Amino acid sequence: RDLLLKQKPKDLDFATTATPEQMKEMFSAEEIRMINVNGEKHGTVTPRINDSVNFEVTTLRIDVRTDGRHAEVEFTTDWKLDANRRDLTINSMFLGLDGTVYDYFSGYEDLQKRRVAFVGDANTRIREDYLRILRYFRFYGRIAQDPDKHEEKTLQSIQDNADGLKRISGERIWTELQQILEGNFACELVKTMLSLDLGPPIGKY
């Protein structure tokens, strides 16, 4: 996403069809140290390169069950299925090692239009993880060029699911809020959030 906007990526996250066990075997064979083994149940292995830089490598996944906070996942080899579980279209693209962009949900087109939209049905995506409500505003502040170009159906879905934020920990909410406040259109975005009844569920912290 950042590369397509001609911006320097803040971090690199890798996806693979290899399972965590297969990744561990490959990294061990190359004598690459691994940290954060707790991420394996979610499909993530973190190799440490040159004992200085960490990269997260995650097996392609589909959500089996969600409770609005966490998901139980199964591994897959289907890139489109993995993309379908992402929150926003602009976050559902993959970049191959050969430079090919794999875009199943018009993420590139949305990026060019500076449009922030959920993958598929907004209500479904939000109910998988209610923190996505705040992620929407965070990425809006990073991508959009106008403070008030929200789509009405998106705002309606956010308002309809506002109470779901009560299930999210204060730490996760504060992390997102900080980034919203540090981004573009912070004042306008906060006003929009308050107009959608996000104040009470956020204010409980």
Predicted TM-score of the model (pTM): 0.90
Higher pLDDT, 190 or 39: 190
Over range 48-60, report the average pLDDT: 91
CA-closest candidate to residue 42, choices 26, 23, 20, 15: 20
Token representation of residue 65: 């069950």
Higher pLDDT, 26 or 10: 26
Q: Which residue segments constitute the domains of the chain, with CATH numbers given?
A: 13-17+60-197 (1.10.110.30)
**H, E, C per residue of 61-120:** EEEEEECECCEEEEECCCHHHHHHCCCEHHHCCEECCCCCEECCCCHHHHHHHCCCCECC
Q: How confident is the model at residue 27 (pLDDT cuts 50, 70, 90)?
A: very high
| Torsion of Cα atoms, 178 then 181 then 184 then 187, to 10° | 160
168: pLDDT strictly greater than 90: yes
**Confidence (pLDDT) at 5:** 82
109: pLDDT strictly greater than 80: yes
- For residue 100, CA distances in Å to 5, 42, 77, 92 come to 15, 26, 18, 14
Q: How confident is the model at residue 37 (pLDDT cuts 50, 70, 90)?
A: low
Amino acid at 151: E
Q: How confident is the model at residue 205 (pLDDT cuts 50, 70, 90)?
A: low
CA 173 to chain centre: 14
Specify the pairing of strand 44-49 against strand 53-54. Answer: antiparallel
**Confidence (pLDDT) at 12:** 85
Over range 63-67, report the average pLDDT: 86
**Confidence (pLDDT) at 140:** 98
Over range 54-64, report the average pLDDT: 93
65: pLDDT strictly greater than 70: yes
Mean pLDDT over all residues of the chain? Answer: 93
- What 8-state DSSP symbol labels residue 18? S
Over range 24-39, report the average pLDDT: 86
38: pLDDT strictly greater than 70: no
